[in-house]
Amino acid sequence: MKIEKLLIFKELNLETIELLEKNLKIKKYKKGEFIFFEKDQVEKIYIIVSGKVSIHKYTQKAHKKIMYILGNGEIINEVIFDDLPASINAEVFEDTMVLEYLSKDFKKIMEKDFELTYRIIQSSGRKVRRLYRQLKNTVPISLDKKVASKLWKLSKDYGVVCEIKNNNCVFCKNNCWIGLEFKISITYLADMLGSTRESISRELKKLEGYGYIKWIDKRIFLKRKELRQFYRK
């Protein structure tokens, strides 16, 4: 495969690309498999080629708290370079292919090319900003606005502009919806928001009643502008 097509490696110098190709391994995972668990001593860095991976932790009450859904070209575990056990779980959200590098080999390549190192720093920085936003969303605001905010963010990262026909997303020019490119369950949304399935189901029905979203066969379609205005009120 041509790894230079991945955003993280795009337009790096030829020598760096050759080293990255020489040291990589490719592995495929099925939905529901774990790439690693919290507290594992992980010695590899993982980069997603295709598919999606859910990053989550468990609370003291064993509730799952989903932090990110990562997609094509994203690094799963930049923090491996501190040589400490993993602080999160990496669970495959849909069938996924990843690149694997031994961390010691990847660090040697980074030492030779600051541009690659800079991109790793940028990737880590984006995750930190997302955590900041999640912390901001822990302030006491109504659950319906929390749900609206989370759906808006998912649509920003994984939304497809479309028109709904026969419960499918098709090309659209006017009065378009944004459809998430993957199916997602109410239980999964509840895990993302740290709430119960029943509560999230109730708020989704409320947003659907307002005309901001449609829920069809575990596929969410939404009006981004209206949804954003709602949660910012």
Structure confidence at residue 2 as a pLDDT band (50, 70, 90)? confident
- Between the alpha carbon of residue 169 and those of residues 40, 42, 69, 161, the distances in Å are 40, 39, 21, 8
Q: What b/e sequence results for 27-61 when a residue is b if at least 16 CB atoms lie within 10 Å of its CB, and e otherwise? A: eebeeeeebbeeeeebebbbbbbebbbbbbeeeee
pLDDT in tens, 82-137: 778 998 999 999 999 999 999 999 999 999 999 999 999 999 998 888 887 776 65
pLDDT of residue 92: 96
Task: Name residue, tokens 């592995």.
Answer: 27
Least confident residue range of 16-20, 170-174, 177-181, 195-199? 170-174
Contact 191, 211 (CB under 8 A): no
Q: What value does the mean pLDDT take over residues 128-147?
A: 77
Query: CA distances (Å), 124 to each of 52, 92, 121, 129, 130, in order?
Result: 18, 20, 5, 9, 10
3-class DSSP state of 22 = helix
The band of 29, judged by pLDDT with boundaries at 50, 70 and 90, is very high
Question: Which tens digit of pLDDT belongs to each residue from 162-189?
Answer: 887 776 777 777 778 999 988 899 998 9
- Which residues have CB under 8 Å from 170's CB, separation 6+? 162, 163, 164
DSSP letter (8 states) at residue 85: P
- Which range has the worst mean pLDDT, 58-62, 74-78, 153-157? 58-62
228, with CB counted inside 10 A (0-12, 13-18, 19+), is middle
- First-to-last alpha carbon distance for the chain, in angstroms, is 47
Q: Which of 32-41, 157-166, 197-206, 222-231 has the lowest mean pLDDT?
A: 157-166
Chain center to CA of 232: 23
Structure confidence at residue 54 (pLDDT): 95
Instruction: Return the CA Rg of the chain.
Output: 19
> To the nearest whole number, what is the mean pLDDT of the chain?
89
